[in-house]
Chain A
Amino acid sequence: MTQARISEFVVGLLFGIGLIVSGMTDPGKVLGFLDLAGLWDPSLAFVMGGAVMIGLVAFTVAKKRSATLLGGVLQLPKSTVIDKRLVIGSLLFGAGWGLAGFCPGPALVSLAMGQSKALLFVAAMLAGMKIFTALERRNAKA
C-alpha cells in the first residue's frame, strides 16, 4: 500500500515536471500549436511523439501481464464503443481547450504555480465535472 502511494505521488511529480518542461503549461504555446492558419508552433507534436514512444512500449508490456509489478490488479480499459458520448464529449473538450489553451493536467500545474487565471479555469472545470455528475444522476433516475 505504502509503495503504491509513493509511486502515485512520484508519477504525479514526473507528469507535472514533464508538462512544464514540454511547454504544455503555457496556454500561448498550446494555442500556437492549434493555430494552423497563423504562426504555427509544431512543438506539441513532439510532446505527443515523445510520450507515445514510451507509452507504446509500456502498454505492449502491460497487455501481456496479468498483474502489476507490485502484484496488484492491472486495470486496462475494456470499453471499445465509439458512440455519440465519446464524440460529443471530445468536441466540447476540444472547443474549451481551443478557447483558453488549458487542458486538465497543465491547468492543475499552473494553478500550483499561482496563476490566478488557472485558478479560475480549474474552478470552472471542477464545476463542469460536477454538472456532468448531476446530469448523469438525473438521467439515471429518469
Chain B
Amino acid sequence: MTIDWEHFTPWASLAGGLLLGVAAAIFILVNGRILGVSGIVGGLLPPAKGDWAWRLTFVAGVLAAPLLYQLVATPAAVRIDAEPVMIVVAGLLVGIGTRYGSGCTSGHGICGLSRLSPRSVVATVTFMAAGFVTVFVVRHLLA
C-alpha cells in the first residue's frame, strides 16, 4: 500500500467530518430525525402528505451550502473522471441500492455507526467493501 501524500488532507477532512457530526447531532436532538440523505430524498419521490416539508427544507440547505461557501472561500478543484455513460450507471445503482438497503454513507455510515446499530455496521461494511472491489476492478483489472 502506497499513501498518496500529495492529496492527503487529514485536518480538513477531520474538520469537515466534525461538521457532518454536528449537523447529524442537531438533526436528531432538535428535529428528532436521522440525517440520511438517500432516505430524505427518496421520501420525496413521490412526496407524501404531511411528510415532505422537512425533507425539502433540509435539501434546500444542502443545495445552498456551496453558494454560501463560495462567498467566503474557493472550493478546491474536483476531479470527475467517469465517462457520462458510467455516471448514469453509477447514479442508477446508487439510487436503487440506497433505497433497497435503506441508507447510504450518511444514514448508515455516520448516524448508524454512531447509534452502534449492528444493521448499519453490516450495511456500511458491505458498501465500503463493494466500493473497494469496484475501484480495484475498474482501475487495476480492466484498465
A: which residues have CB within 8 A of B? Answer: 4-5, 7-29, 31-32, 34-44, 46-59, 61-63, 65, 67-70, 72-77, 79-82, 85-105, 107-113, 115, 117-118, 120-133
Contact = CB atoms under 8 A, between A and B. Distances in A.
What DSSP secondary structure best describes chain A's contact surface?
Answer: helix
Nearest to A31: B135
Given A16-B66, A58-B24, A82-B118, A10 B12 contact: no
A95 B127 CA distance: 7
Interface residues of B, number: 111
A91 B97 contact: yes
A138 B21 CA distance: 37
A125 to B, nearest CB: 4
29 contacts: A10-B26, A13-B68, A16-B69, A21-B19, A28-B79, A39-B2, A47-B17, A54-B24, A85-B101, A86-B122, A93-B94, A96-B91, A98-B132, A99-B93, A99-B138, A103-B37, A103-B106, A104-B98, A104-B106, A105-B104, A105-B106, A108-B63, A112-B65, A112-B66, A117-B87, A125-B95, A127-B95, A129-B98, A132-B99
Interface in B7-22: 7-10, 12-22
Contacts of A17: 19, 65, 68-69
B134 A99 contact: yes
Contacts of A120: 84, 87-88, 91
Given A43-B9, A99-B138, A93 B106 contact: no
Contacts of B54: 4-5, 8
B49 interface: no
A56 B90 CA distance: 31
Contact of A12 (B14, B60, B75, B132): B60
Given A62-B29, A124-B90, A128-B91, A47 B131 contact: no
Given A40-B4, A104-B41, 7 more contacts: A13-B62, A53-B21, A58-B114, A90-B101, A105-B37, A121-B91, A125-B95
Centre residue among A11, A61, A122 by max chain B CB count within 10 A: A11
A5 B23 CA distance: 14
